Amino acid sequence: MKTILVTGANGFVGTHTLNSLMKLQGINLIAACRDRSRLNPAFKGEVREGDFRDENYLDNMLDGVDVVCNAMAWTSLRGYRKQSETLHYLPTVKLIDKIVEKGISRFINVSTTSAASPGKSSDAMSMGIPRAFWPHLCSTIKIENHMRNKANNVSSMVNMRFGIFAGEHYGLGILPILLPRLKTHLVPWVAGGRTSLPVIDGRDIGEAMKCAAVAEKLTGYSSFNVVGNEVPTVREVIEFIHNEFAYPKPHFSVPFFIAYPFAWLMEIINPVVPWEPLVSRSIVHLLEEVAADNNQATKQLAYQPEHSWQDAITRQIQQMHKLQAKAMKMARPIV
C-alpha cells in the first residue's frame, strides 16, 4: 500500500489536496501540519504534528513515506527577502534533501505559471526567470532548480506550476489583494485587461496534486502547467466580479511599461504612508501573459479540471465577505 504524506495539510492547497486524496482507496494517507485543530475534521487518518524547520521532526515526519505532496508555503507579494529565504526556501530545500537521503520515491512541489512569464511560461519545463523586485518568486525558482539538481532514478521530482488560486479556504492571492483596491477607483486596467488570468479552483488544485501523487512513469524531473477548464482574460474576470458583486471596474488603462514604474513608486513611498501599496510590481507581473494550458498535465497525469473560474471566484468572494473584515496583507504572518 502506497503511503502519501501531505505537508501544510491545513492550508489552502493542503486542504484541497487532502480532500482529493481522501476519496482514494488503497492508500495510506498522512497529514503533516503545525496545528491539527485546523485540519478538515472529516480526516480521520494519521496526523504528524510539528514544524519541519525542526530537524528531528523532519526526519520522523518522513518515516515510511512513499510520496510527499508538499503544500507547505510561506508567501509574500512584495519584499520580505530574508523571510522568504528562511521561512520558505531553506525549509523546502532541507525537505527535498531529506527525501533524497531517505530514498522516497516522489516529491510534488507547488509553483506558479508566472515562474517563466512572459515569453517562456507556456513550456512548464522552461527555466524560471528570477525577478529582483519579487524575492518570493526568486525563492520559488531556486526551489525548482534544486529539484532539477536532486532528481534521480529513485526520487522523482514533480513541479506543479499552478495558475491563480481561487475558491474556498482561500489564502494570500491576487483576488483578496485586488478586490479592496478596486473600491478606491484608482486601480487601472493593465494593457486593457487583455492578458489571460489562469484562475484555478482549489478543488481542481487538489485533484491535480492527487493525480501527480498516483501517476505512473514519472521519472527524474518533470514540470506541468495546471490551470482551470477555461482561461479567462483579466477583463472577463473583473467584469464578472463587477456584474455579480458590484465591485468597481477600472476607469482607465496603462501599458505594462507604465504599470511597472508606477508600482515601483507605490513600493518606494510605502514606508512613509500608513497603508500598504496600492499595487506592487509582483501583482503587475502576475498580469503578464502566461499562455498556459493543461495539455501535458492531462496527457501525463490524467488531470481533468471540473470547476469553472466563475464558480471558484463566486465561492471565494462569498467566503471573503464572511471572513475578511479588512484588506489582506501582502505577506503571510511571520511565525
Domain with residue 104: its CATH number is: 3.40.50.720
Q: Are 297 and 224 a contacting pair, CB within 8 Å?
A: yes
* Structure confidence by residue, pLDDT tens digits, 46-74: 999 998 778 789 889 999 999 999 999 87
| Mode of pairing for the β-strands spanning 46-49 and 67-70 | unpaired
* Structure confidence by residue, pLDDT tens digits, 71-106: 998 777 777 788 888 889 999 999 999 999 999 999
Predicted local distance difference test score (pLDDT) of residue 326: 59
Contacts of residue 1, Cβ cutoff 8 Å, sequence gap at least 6: 26, 27, 28
* DSSP output for 296-311: HHHHHH-------HHH
Residue 183 lies in a domain: no
- How would you classify residue 103: left for phi > 0, otherwise alpha for psi between -120 and 50, otherwise beta? left
Q: What angle do CA 223, 226, 230 make, to 5 degrees?
A: 155
Residue 319 lies in a domain: no
Nearest CA-CA partner of 320 in 157, 172, 99, 154: 172
Q: Is the pLDDT of residue 319 over 90?
A: no
Predicted local distance difference test score (pLDDT) of residue 172: 61
- Domain tally, the chain: 1
Q: Are 270 and 276 a contacting pair, CB within 8 Å?
A: yes
SS3 58: helix
Q: Is the pLDDT of residue 330 over 50?
A: no
Residue 273 lies in a domain: no
* Structure confidence by residue, pLDDT tens digits, 296-317: 999 999 999 999 999 999 999 9
Joined together, the cell numbers standing for residue 327 give 484588506
Q: Is the pLDDT of residue 333 over 50?
A: no
Nearest CA-CA partner of 159 in 145, 173, 174: 145
Residue 43 lies in a domain: yes
pLDDT, average across residues 250-256: 95
pLDDT, average across residues 267-288: 82
What residues form DSSP beta bridges with 285? none
pLDDT confidence band for 142 (50 / 70 / 90): very high
Residue 57 lies in a domain: yes
Cα 141 to Cα 294: distance, rounded to the nearest angstrom = 21
Residue 184 lies in a domain: no
Task: Domain of residue 106: give its range.
Answer: 2-170+199-228+291-309
Cα 88 to Cα 168: distance, rounded to the nearest angstrom = 23
Q: Are 162 and 121 a contacting pair, CB within 8 Å?
A: no
Cα 101 to Cα 6: distance, rounded to the nearest angstrom = 19
Q: Are 305 and 210 a contacting pair, CB within 8 Å?
A: no
Residue 248 lies in a domain: no
